[in-house]
Amino acid sequence: MALLEGVDGLIAGTELLDRNVLSCAPNLKVISRCGTGLDNVDLEAAAKFGIRIYNTPEALADGVSELALAGILNVLRRVSYADRLIRQGQWEKPMGRLLRGKTVGIVGLGRIGKALVKLLQPFLVTVLAHDPVQDEAFAHQYGVQYCPLDVLLAQADIVTLHLTYSSECYHLLDRSRLAAMKPGAILVNCARGGLVDEQALYEFLKAGKLAGAYLDVFEQEPYRGPFTELANVILTSHIGSYAAECRLRMEVEAVGNLLRYFREEAGR
């Protein structure tokens, strides 16, 4: 609130910009979010106060999609687990699995999901996708099969989430849907923590119903929960956009959005 006093434009991160905060910034005209998600911004309040909102959806597609692929390969080949064993003085050879030939289910086939599809091409995987907006031309070009979510969960060896978060998507993967996943499947979440029922996921992973998970996002961050106890889970600290090239592009786009707004306003 102190930072926003007298400010006309804000380049925002993931800090909470709710009605209470925005009401203390009477001069604020534009918020340029450095990133894609807007769940930290009270869009209704922003509209009421006449604040324009921008984000940078193009910039982080490569960063998040490459991280998702890294997480998939890490869990399948148990790279981090083998690393931990060596550091503990143990020379064991954990058996892993190949990505080649698997069925990958992508929930949310937007910019990031499509970037991941392209990265997966050399692995000769079957790609299933669930998205309310279907890009048939893209699906035809890259061999993607659209299907209902329940079908995707039942058939995919790897389920990876790449959709934006909203209250309607809270616990999209709840206990019943996690239970419906293919036995031995892997879950990857580089989108938002609220999309998954974390307690249910923990129980299925601990029991071996699911083979593993890679989680970059959590309902409460910083994360201090029970996933840290499990050897079949890879955890990272919300680093989807934390590649130098990706961050630079995001920041340049965020500044560009801010400048474009003020130039347009000046030209009216």
Catalytic residues: 192, 221, 238
Token pair in block for residue 156? 């995919």
CA nearest to 68, candidates 105, 97, 95: 105
The amino acid that residue 111 corresponds to is R
73 contacts 99 by C-beta, under 8 angstroms: yes
The amino acid that residue 219 corresponds to is E
Q: Is 158 left (phi over 0), alpha (psi -120 to 50) or beta?
A: beta
- Cα separation values, 139 from 69, 112, 133, 148, 190, Å: 19, 14, 12, 15, 22
Which residue shows structure tokens 């890259």?
142
229 by DSSP, 3-state: which? helix
Which residue shows structure tokens 């609130």?
1
